[in-house]
Structure 1
């Protein structure tokens, strides 16, 4: 076949279908109707002499030929986009871009309000979509453009570019009147408590945990507390209310635990735990490193987290 027989828009359609595994989702991303997307895919199949995609459940799956073609198409489209963007001046006030960001449930609650307010002021036409994904899906989603940014403690997202945003630590959150909280305060007031005494005290706790938060579950294992796990839930945000009305304790990042404790009736304990310290980072794909819109968004996210980190550090020191 000859390259002159190919329409660049058909390659964009192919890339979108390959990434989303759905003709309808690809059509939606490209701003076209599903019938038009189906017709374009039929033209591309005719030119290439291959089915490219086959029906699979609610979507489609690529043929071996399509999988071999996908990387070359993505590389070619990325090269063209980068060349076109070299002289492009990004104007956030005129942008209507849809930005898709991975955040955990507590990340959404803590950081999305500030980000949304900033975008309403600086980029009113831009749209933001929170897209929480399983850890093993984040790297591929960043690389194929399904996701623009991922923010969090994500040590297993594959080869991505990243920027540290803030440091945090895991603490224990429990109700203020909890017997362990009272005895913890007594030990602290008496001076430097004996580590064995502290461990024996904390071993009396019963715990709630988040199913998908592997690090807190790992801490429970390393402390030999896993047999004290009484409740497992899907999201962190359901836990403060449960902790407030029960004797369960939960391991939670300090940045979020402090907000819940400040609202009343909850206490924070800060024992010396394994894997206690961690870093929240922003991740993105090298394929889109030069995208002017993403460069602007990354810079603004960095500024927002810098402000948050400064205030958090002040709180800890005081």
Structure 2
């Protein structure tokens, strides 16, 4: 107990350490914490004395963590998260009684395939209206993860091969890819051949923009190539375009099936092997024990099981 109440053990120092680890800058850490740069510098000095290690070393304009700081990172963040959960006033959640809004970040394609069921559920809970509201956003992967950290985003959904060490993740479903085209404009029938696939121009979905993707790598390995005539970040604009354009697109199979059924297009398996990928949901670990957040994640997990 004496060690716990030692004057040297200041939990504010842990917050400074965590902010520096995230920002890699004294000025940005100070901005995050709402304190002066001198306060952060002073706290870092106390930390260095307490730990007996420099913890952060200036390298090319950035404060890079030492090996000791890297070892401390996870246990100290867990300590902060545990304190935040312990002090949280949220002990239970009832969507019929409590107002709660969530922000979910994912592609428009996942919104249509996975989240329409969630929206249907919150429109009525049994015979009563839910008091939950959902904001759906589409951002690039880096912005999504930053949003989890600053609290502007509750949940991200999609292909998440890497999340930050203070994020949690749960698998939703395994996905693959399929082709989509308008049979009224292209003389094709499913299943299409590799020759068919490469003969016509492509409309490519691209969250980050650009004109190439893993598809082009797969084709290159086969000694083939396609011509990407256009790309768009808006997946669900693609079926509208294909209704009037003699192009082929490659989409996640569930999205392609949804578009084909909704707009009246043809779907075909890819004419070459391509790896499946996982669709997962990710969130900041500080929300892992939140009853309302647990309610949201369970609803999405239940919906994913029906796909």
TM band (smaller chain)? 0.5 to 0.7
Change over 3 Å in CA distance of 1:167–1:82 after alignment to 2: same
Once the two structures are overlaid, the 10-residue window that deviates more, 201-210 or 279-288, is 279-288
Distance 1:76 1:97 in 2: 27
- 1:266 is displaced (CA, Å) by 1.4
Aligned to 1:267: 266
1:138 Cα deviation from its structure 2 partner: 3.9
What is the DSSP-based 3-state SS (H/G/I as helix, E as strand, rest coil) of the residue aligned with 2:94?
Answer: coil
Aligned-residue offset at 1:140: 4.8
Shift in Å at residue 157 of structure 1?
Answer: 3.4
C-alpha displacement of 1:265: 4.1
Query: Residues 219-260 of structure 1, C-alpha deviation per residue, up to 9 Å, x if partnerless?
Result: 454455544111122221221122221221000112111222
Give the distance between the partners of 2:159 and 2:41, measured in 1 at CA: 42
Q: Equivalent of 1:101, from 101, 104, 110?
A: 104
Mapped to 1, the partners of 2:303 and 2:158 lie a distance apart of 14
How far 1:119 moved relative to its partner? 2.9
Contact 2:205 2:251 in 1 (8 A): no
Look up the match of 2:52. none
Provide the C-alpha distance between the structure 1 equivalents of 2:41 and 2:6, rounded to a whole number of angstroms: 14
Q: 1:98 to 1:288 in 2, by over 3 A?
A: same
Deviations 1:26-76 (A, max 9, x none): 89xxxxxxxxx899x999999999xxxxxxxxxxx99x9xx99x9999655
- Paired with 2:79 and 2:242, the residues of 1 have a C-alpha distance of 53
Could you say which residue in structure 1 is the equivalent of 2:228?
A: 229
Q: Match of 2:277, SS?
A: strand
**Residue 246 (structure 1) aligns with:** 245
Q: 1:153 aligns with which of 150, 159, 169?
A: 159
Shift of 1:203: 2.5
Which one has the bigger helix percentage?
Answer: 1
Q: Kindly tell me: are residues 116 and 198 of structure 1, through their superposed partners in 2, closer, same or farther at Cα, counting changes over 3 Å?
A: closer
Q: CA RMSD in A?
A: 4.7
SS in 1 for 2:180: strand
Q: Is the partner of 1:263 in helix, strand or coil?
A: helix
Q: Indicate how the Cα distance of structure 1 residues 140 and 275 shifts in structure 2: closer, same or farther if over 3 A, else same.
A: farther
**Which residue of 2 is the match for residue 174 of structure 1?**
181
Kindly tell me: are residues 300 and 92 of structure 1, through their superposed partners in 2, closer, same or farther at Cα, counting changes over 3 Å? same
Q: Find the counterpart in structure 1 of residue 202 from structure 2.
A: 207
Shift of residue 303 of structure 1? 0.8
Q: Secondary structure at the match of 1:128?
A: strand
Match for residue 128 of structure 1? Answer: 135
| Runs of 5+ consecutive residues of structure 1 not aligned to the other structure | 28-36, 50-60, 189-196, 310-318
Q: Partners of 1:42 and 1:108 in 2: how far apart? A: 45
Aligned to 2:94: 92
CA distance in 1, matches of 2:135, 2:186: 44
Whole-angstrom distance in 1 between the partners of 2:241 and 2:169: 35
SS at 1:203's partner residue? helix
Alignment match, 1:278? 277
**1:111 is the counterpart of 2:111:** no
2:81 maps to 1:78: yes
Local SS of the residue matching 1:290: coil
Q: TM-score, normalised by structure 1?
A: 0.63
TM-aligned CA deviation for residue 88 of structure 1 = 5.1
2:51 corresponding residue in structure 1: none
Aligned-partner SS, 2:184? coil
Alpha-carbon distance in structure 1 between the residues aligned to 2:93 and 2:222: 51
In structure 2, distance between residues paired with 1:143 and 1:126: 21
Between 269-278 and 212-221, the greater mean CA deviation after superposition: 212-221
Number of aligned residue pairs: give it. Answer: 278
